Structure 1
């Protein structure tokens, strides 16, 4: 089991300060290497694992599925599933491993998720979600939270969305991460489900006004610092997804702005990752598995394309090491000087 990063403070105290900014759980993206990089960029943000099915947690390789570096904390484990007893068992295992929050996925619209009766289709079964949350909350001392959509398919009824929240909140969930779009269970791919259904931020705003005791975090469509700042006047916090991944320096700037830290330049931030990279390589991890998460660090900057090209082409070569990262950084210098 991993030791907590702050053993002198209980989980609720350790976790309370980080609500305003978080990074969404993203399948195949927010693995442990990504999260270590994001923690370096955003010391105060909440980070989430990729979704893990409860059955995999109970029966699978827990070191591979649940292992993390304590530097990643505060860190939430996102679970998928719809069997209350199984979810409770997985939640207990996650809490024992040191996770600060257990999050239930009620928002993923993929066909695989629907076939397993979990994800966004659970929004049609609020009583089952409530039973699951109650079982999980009874099994752990850390917060149990829910990430959901506004509804499914062509449902345009705010009262139904609020009723879902009320039912689940009564079972012991005080935090709802609202991806402010509907999920279309048929006819749209997961990518299209992130882009085509219209955003309705006002539903999350209204929920917070009507249920002020709930913690309401907003997810979906925000890609600039101004977008985030505008939403924080209406909700408790904002969760960034693709924007944090494709433009990770945005995450750094937001953390500094929201929590009063000092911004560091991109090269300094990346070099701070070197001890972790070399330690991982010493354990047999290939450089490419880590550098794929930093390709967007110079997004929108002169030299950004050269940086990505050097890293993406070189990291796959046998024997690639930190020297390649320095070469990628060097490739940005001339274009940045020319732009200046």
Structure 2
């Protein structure tokens, strides 16, 4: 496995946008690139079964070149299938392949996917080893701090140590437990309390590993503060619902120029991509739904959202609907 900092994924990893089902689609990721060029982006979770036996693969793996650096997140537990998928990810040009050991839904539990794998560190270790043998891009793991009655640092320590011994050098830890019995997937995103200290202690015990923190981060100030204790931060819902948060990521966290100085600049920069996707047969609302939070709190922002919500889904809706929505925004708004 390539672990050098020069690798695109490793070089970008300081800040990433979490993989989120139905949200971090190819269209959202292209939109995010109008706001940050440096952040590491993740796909939605793709199960090994869908990738190996579904068709066409373009549906699961397609992306635009602008999205790099880009990681594919896989859901699965069979080492052979995961290895085959890791090889496919590399062949398709992904910069990283990530194993989901954090999703708490019943559907994935029944297939031994996601957070339930935290109870099977040896199985995860075997999968990571096979994936690394099949691909030269980084193989990483995203997990929770524990599941159900796993309530001690020792449980997380055993998981990370076992998987690290198999060769994994990078872990992103959602700093909440997952209650597989008694809480819904939605509740598992909010109800279990955040425990950043457990992730901080994990990093102190493993200075040679890359330990990233995910969960509850809402501002770049909070991200910068956590970067004093961990190697990277991952932001999920806040990056999606309030995308302007991303506008200063490059300058604040990477020391580089931001792509857009104003929200309208980002909105207009996304316009050629929308036109391209429409020409490919995509529906307007499937692309523009990811922009709805861009003008949050700005004069005309509500009218922008309303116009898209009421018109972008209509049959034959084209770029003029997006332009009309932008016309509802009273003035370009800086941060």
| TM range, smaller chain | over 0.9
Aligned pair partner of 1:52 in 46, 54, 76: 46
User: For residues 11 and 74 of structure 1, what CA distance do their matches in structure 2 show?
Assistant: 13
1:33 and 2:19 correspond: no
CA contact (8 A) 1:25 1:48 kept: yes
Aligned pair partner of 1:287 in 284, 287, 298: 284
1:333 and 2:330 correspond: yes
1:116 and 2:128 correspond: no
User: For residues 229 and 32 of structure 2, what CA distance do their matches in structure 1 show?
Assistant: 25
> 148-157 or 316-325: which moved more?
316-325
What is aligned with 1:15?
9
What is aligned with 1:140?
135
1:298 and 2:295 correspond: yes
Aligned pair partner of 1:88 in 77, 83, 87: 83
Segments ≥4 residues shifted beyond 4 Å: none
User: For residues 111 and 10 of structure 2, what CA distance do their matches in structure 1 show?
Assistant: 33
The CA deviation string for residues 200-256 of structure 1, in whole angstroms up to 9 with x for no partner, is 011111111111111111110111222212111111111010001000010122233
Deviation at 1:147, TM superposition (A): 0.3
What is aligned with 1:7?
none
What is aligned with 1:5?
none
The CA deviation string for residues 291-337 of structure 1, in whole angstroms up to 9 with x for no partner, is 00010001233322111111111101223222222222221207x89
What is aligned with 1:187?
182
Deviation at 1:11, TM superposition (A): 9.6
Tell me how many residue pairs correspond in the alignment: 327
User: For residues 177 and 251 of structure 1, what CA distance do their matches in structure 2 show?
Assistant: 19
Aligned pair partner of 2:214 in 219, 241, 253: 219
User: For residues 69 and 92 of structure 1, what CA distance do their matches in structure 2 show?
Assistant: 20
SS at match of 1:185: coil
SS at match of 1:281: helix
Deviation at 1:118, TM superposition (A): 1.2
What is aligned with 1:79?
74
TM-score normalised to the size of structure 2?
0.94
SS at match of 2:12: coil
User: For residues 324 and 176 of structure 1, what CA distance do their matches in structure 2 show?
Assistant: 42
Aligned pair partner of 1:318 in 315, 320, 328: 315
SS at match of 2:171: strand
Unaligned runs of 5+ in 1: 1-9
User: For residues 212 and 254 of structure 1, what CA distance do their matches in structure 2 show?
Assistant: 25
What is aligned with 1:64?
59
Aligned pair partner of 1:261 in 253, 257, 266: 257
CA contact (8 A) 2:39 2:249 kept: no
User: For residues 232 and 194 of structure 1, what CA distance do their matches in structure 2 show?
Assistant: 22
The alignment yields a C-alpha RMSD, in angstroms, of 1.6
> 106-115 or 148-157: which moved more?
148-157
User: For residues 162 and 299 of structure 1, what CA distance do their matches in structure 2 show?
Assistant: 41
User: For residues 15 and 51 of structure 1, what CA distance do their matches in structure 2 show?
Assistant: 17
SS at match of 2:109: helix
What is aligned with 1:4?
none
User: For residues 29 and 290 of structure 2, what CA distance do their matches in structure 1 show?
Assistant: 9
SS at match of 2:328: helix
CA contact (8 A) 1:204 1:218 kept: yes
The CA deviation string for residues 55-89 of structure 1, in whole angstroms up to 9 with x for no partner, is 22112221111111111111111001111011101
Aligned pair partner of 1:152 in 147, 154, 163: 147
Unaligned runs of 5+ in 2: none
TM-score normalised to the size of structure 1?
0.93
Deviation at 1:275, TM superposition (A): 1.1
